[in-house]
């Protein structure tokens, strides 16, 4: 009788433990932002910069090996409708859509998230209020104040989008001026920031210093040290891939990639079999 009770009790405990595990797993949001996963593993990620409204260009870049695409809305005439069409046209591509929004406004950020963007890049972060507001606009309650709206996000990322979006949408704060460098510790402390990025060209423009200058490099080191100490990912231009601590990189624009591709094509010697028009290209 004692053995039967022991067995019965053990079975009950195992059943309760399995039920607890299932409930715990059900409460964990699904992660589909592969950039977030790679950064968590300490891997470098690179994003090509999109300025063209051509879906074919977008898809070519999204399937070329980039981890994400940096959709440029601050310094391009792209519209949200054009970007929505591009993302949808290549919805199964491995590159995750990120967007540098024109500014940290509710309209810009919520339009970006509604069309399915999973990374929001905020330019010219030189106050904690700016990046804090951006996080609020990008996240659903209870974390933020993003409102429910129409969009293609659920068709892109699944029916559990409302429950998983907060865990998948990443926030990138761009440090472009010495004023941002001076408060980078406060920026890094804002809950919801995932990446702090050194905007190399603009930091030089705002400071009047060139890369390599001791004072310029001192600012980069300060951003790096604070960012890494805060446990956040550190970003910069692709040319800085060999710099210590950097994991998140902005690659060339589509127009620059086209130029580089043409140069490579012209440098390729002739001979062999000509490509068959309409056939899928070999890589």
CA 151 – CA 148 distance, rounded (Å): 9
Active site residue 75: yes
Q: Which of 7, 43, 75, 163 is catalytic?
A: 75
User: From CA 115, how far away is CA 149, in angstroms rounded?
Assistant: 10
Do you know the residue count of the chain? Answer: 283
Residues annotated as catalytic (active site), given as ranges: 75
């Amino acid at each position: 009788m004692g053995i039967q009770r022991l067995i019965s009790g053990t079975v009950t405990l195992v059943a309760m433990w399995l039920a607890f595990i299932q409930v715990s797993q059900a409460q964990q949001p699904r992660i589909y932002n592969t950039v977030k996963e790679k950064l968590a593993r300490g891997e470098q990620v690179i994003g090509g910069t999109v300025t063209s409204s051509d879906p074919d260009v977008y898809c070519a870049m999204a399937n070329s090996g980039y981890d994400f695409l940096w959709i440029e809305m601050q310094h391009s005439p792209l519209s949200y409708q054009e970007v929505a069409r591009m993302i949808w046209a290549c919805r199964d591509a491995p590159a995750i859509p990120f967007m540098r929004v024109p500014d940290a406004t509710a309209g810009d950020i919520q339009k970006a998230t509604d069309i399915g963007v999973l990374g929001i890049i905020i330019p010219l972060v030189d106050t904690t209020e700016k990046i804090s507001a951006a996080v609020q606009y990008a996240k659903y309650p209870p974390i933020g104040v993003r409102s429910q709206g129409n969009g293609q996000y659920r068709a892109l990322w699944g029916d559990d989008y409302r429950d998983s979006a907060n865990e998948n949408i990443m926030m990138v704060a761009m440090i472009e001026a010495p004023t941002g460098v001076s408060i980078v510790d406060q920026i890094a402390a804002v809950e919801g920031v995932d990446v702090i990025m050194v905007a190399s060209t603009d930091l030089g423009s705002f400071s009047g210093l060139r890369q390599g200058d001791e004072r310029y490099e001192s600012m980069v080191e300060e951003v790096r040290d604070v960012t890494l100490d805060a446990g956040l990912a550190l970003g910069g231009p692709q040319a800085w891939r060999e710099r210590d601590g950097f994991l998140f990189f902005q690659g060339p624009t589509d127009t620059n990639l086209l130029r580089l591709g043409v140069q490579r094509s012209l440098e390729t010697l002739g001979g062999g079999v000509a490509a068959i028009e309409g056939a899928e290209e070999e890589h």
